[in-house]
């Protein structure tokens, strides 16, 4: 083992026993990655975008079924309409490309019909496989894009206004949004988000969360020292008030104390997707 580089310590706020002799440009890029929410007024060449989309399609996919699709939105008016659906994130309209990663079980349904076969897998497992396929493709795109100097920010909020997004993007039955992804050239460097320590997330041999609460408390303190949550970033202050020290765990507990996206399952059923 060698000393922990600063960029690994930045990720956790503590040293970890990492063997950095295997470090290369890809690993370092992943460890240094940061979200981009500030984009320069600069276009992305079609050739570069096509290259990065080829990287996205190089992701693993369950049984090679490839149950996902990607919509690339360049049109300024459409990008502005997308941003208008997310009033808390007006900066999304500044990104020259907005990608939407979709679970797509429509394609194989149509292919089954074209081959005169029954389709017998309209179920929760297929829904899960399509979600994972789309998420893996998105992550491959992010890695490739950031290695080329671009910045990205996954947006799950597309599922908050899912009917509006579906109408705007003409989503047919069997197709549903996983996440949006504004892509562009960073206008600011952003920051490294501190992550939970490995002793909370990584389990050795079997699941064991006996020390989870105390380990998260330590993480809360480190994270607060670096990124104290302002009143504007504290969740549901109308119900819980504003704290001088609102920790990560307090904030996520607040967030999930109220139902989120209760209409998602209804939307999926309206698109002919069975979750049984």
Tokens 């693993």 belong to residue: 60
Q: How far apart are CA 200 and CA 198, in angstroms?
A: 5
Q: What is the CATH code of the structural domain delimited by 46-190?
A: 3.40.109.10
**Least reliable range by pLDDT among 4-13, 41-50, 86-95:** 4-13
Average pLDDT of the chain to the nearest whole number:
95
pLDDT digits (tens, 9 = 90+) for 180-208: 999 999 999 888 999 999 999 999 999 99
pLDDT for 2 equals 53
Say whether pLDDT at 255 is over 90. Answer: yes
* Ordered DSSP codes for the chain: --PPPHHHHHHHSS-----GGG--HHHHHHHH------B-S----HHHHHHHHHHHTTS--GGG---EEEEEE--HHHHHHHHHT-TT-GGGGGSSEEEEEEEE-HHHHHHHHHTT------SHHHHHHHHHHHHHHHHHHHHHHHHTT-EE--BGGGGTTHHHHHHHTT--TTEEEEEEEEEE-BSS---PPP---HHHH--SSS---TTHHHHHHHHHHHHHHHSPPPGGGSTTHHHH---SS--HHHHHHHHTTS---TTHHHHHHHTT----
- Banded model confidence at residue 1, pLDDT cuts 50, 70, 90: very low
Is-above-0.85 flag for pTM?
Answer: yes
Comparing 114 with 4, the larger pLDDT belongs to 114
């Amino acid at each position: 083992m060698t000393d922990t580089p600063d960029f690994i310590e930045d990720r956790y706020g503590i040293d970890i026993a990492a063997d950095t002799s295997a470090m290369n440009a890809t690993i370092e890029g992943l460890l240094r990655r940061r979200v981009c929410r500030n984009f320069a007024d600069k276009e992305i060449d079609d050739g570069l975008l096509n290259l990065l989309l080829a990287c996205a399609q190089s992701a693993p996919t369950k049984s090679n079924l490839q149950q996902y699709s990607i919509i690339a939105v360049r049109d300024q008016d459409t990008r502005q309409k997308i941003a208008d659906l997310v009033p808390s994130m007006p900066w999304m309209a500044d990104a020259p490309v907005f990608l939407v990663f979709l679970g797509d079980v429509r394609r194989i349904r149509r292919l089954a019909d074209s081959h005169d076969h029954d389709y017998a897998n309209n179920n929760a497992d297929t829904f899960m496989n399509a979600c994972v396929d789309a998420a893996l493709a998105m992550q491959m795109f992010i890695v490739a894009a950031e290695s080329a100097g671009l910045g990205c920010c996954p947006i799950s909020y597309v599922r908050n206004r899912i009917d509006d997004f579906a109408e705007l993007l003409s989503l047919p039955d069997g197709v549903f949004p996983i996440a949006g992804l504004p892509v562009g050239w960073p206008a600011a460097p952003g920051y490294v988000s501190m992550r939970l320590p490995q002793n909370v997330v990584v389990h050795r041999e079997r699941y064991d969360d006996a020390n989870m609460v105390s380990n998260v408390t330590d993480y809360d303190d480190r994270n607060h020292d670096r990124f104290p949550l302002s009143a504007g970033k504290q969740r549901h202050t109308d119900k819980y008030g504003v704290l001088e020290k609102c920790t990560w765990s307090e904030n996520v507990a607040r967030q999930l104390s109220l139902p989120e996206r209760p209409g998602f399952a209804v939307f999926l059923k309206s698109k002919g997707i069975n979750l049984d």
